[in-house]
């Protein structure tokens, strides 16, 4: 119930306005966000790289409502790619299609993402984040246009283990040779489309891990669950798979000691590094995943 409540509140404009003006809420959110500026995010990634950890940039923002905002978001990502190259940091980028204008005009969204993928001289990879189930079909449809019609191979997708449909989607992406980032899912989904029980989500995640490791193209396995991480390690050892053929992924500010331990054990590790002023929806989804943090956050809002 608490998780569903915070996921619902992530869409509240009123609470967002209050949170953005609250210094304590902002300070706490920065446990999960690398800062509000590009420079701050670059500095955070430099520190990660020093510890053998790769990164993926995410400029926070979603559901833009004008063509101008969508084009500006794409411009920012081209700037990020240029900064990655000039700063010589080990990072790729992740983006949301609603930030690129999916709800404004799908052709505009396609052109914006294409422009980012076309920055081939910057020699980087673009990951398309998955949003709520209302966008799954549209997200994968636009990805197919990038892959099949435009011919881009420096682009991949995120798939969510809590959706019933995801095994079919994983098989399709494996057949294409597309790179998949597998996560559990962080949106409030109805039982008609998603497993309602955590145990079922975990079981499906493990099943999809096997499928991706056996048939996928350098999958990214995004989880902080030590049981699933240990399961993956045992599967890799049992099958004799090269541990460099995939990577573990985690979120910025979460399980830092475990991230370092996996690197020391010889596994590839990438951290999802969000930054920007539009941190509220992302922050609320992290609260939904980590209810132990709720007391601090609510206290800061009450004090205001």
| Residues annotated catalytic, as ranges | 129, 181
Contact 247, 269 (CB under 8 A): yes
Closest CA to 228 of 193, 252, 255, 253: 255
Contact 75, 115 (CB under 8 A): no
Closest CA to 170 of 120, 220, 231, 131: 220
Residue 58, φ and ψ in degrees, nearest 5: -135, 110
3-class DSSP assignment, residue 223: coil
DSSP the chain: -HHHHHHHHTT-HHHHHHHHT-HHHHHHHTTTS--SSHHHHHHHHHHHHHTT-EEEEEE------SHHHHHHHHHHHHHHHHHHHHHT--EEEEE-TTTTTTTT-HHHHHHHHHHHHT-GGG---EEE----GGGHHHHHHHHHIIIIIS---SEEEEEETTBTTHHHHHHHHHHHT--EEEE---S---TTTB--SHHHHHHHHHHHHHHHHHH-SS-EEE---HHHHHHHHHHHHHHT--GGGSEEEEETTSSHHHHHHHHHTT-EEEEEEEESS--HHHHHHHHHH-GGGHHHHHHHHHH-
């Amino acid at each position: 119930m608490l998780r569903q409540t915070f996921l619902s509140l992530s869409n509240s404009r009123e609470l967002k306005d209050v949170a953005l003006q609250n210094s304590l809420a902002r300070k706490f959110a920065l446990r999960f966000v690398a800062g509000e500026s590009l420079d701050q995010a670059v500095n955070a990634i430099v520190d990660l790289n020093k510890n053998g950890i790769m990164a993926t940039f995410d400029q926070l923002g979603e559901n833009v409502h004008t063509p101008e905002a969508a084009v500006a978001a794409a411009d920012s990502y081209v700037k990020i790619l240029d900064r990655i190259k000039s700063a010589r940091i080990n990072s790729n980028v992740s983006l949301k299609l609603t930030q690129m204008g999916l709800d404004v005009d799908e052709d505009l969204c396609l052109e914006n993402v294409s422009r980012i993928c076309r920055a081939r001289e910057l020699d980087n990879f673009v990951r398309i984040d998955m949003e709520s189930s209302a966008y799954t079909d549209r997200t994968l449809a636009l990805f197919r246009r990038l892959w099949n019609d435009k011919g881009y191979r420096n682009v991949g997708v995120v798939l969510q283990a809590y959706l019933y449909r995801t095994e079919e989607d994983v098989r399709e992406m494996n057949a294409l040779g597309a790179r998949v980032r597998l996560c559990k899912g962080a949106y409030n989904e109805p039982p008609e489309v998603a497993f309602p029980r955590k145990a079922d989500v975990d079981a499906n995640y493990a099943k999809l891990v096997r499928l991706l490791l056996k048939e996928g193209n350098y999958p990214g396995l995004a989880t902080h669950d030590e049981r699933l991480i240990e399961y993956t390690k045992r599967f890799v050892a049992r099958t004799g798979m090269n541990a460099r053929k995939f990577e573990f992924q985690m979120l910025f500010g979460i399980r830092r000691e475990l991230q370092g331990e996996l690197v020391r054990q010889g596994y590839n590790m990438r951290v999802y590094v969000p930054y920007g002023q539009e941190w509220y929806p992302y922050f609320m989804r992290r609260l939904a995943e980590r209810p132990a943090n709720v007391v601090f956050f609510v206290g800061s809002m009450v004090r205001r």
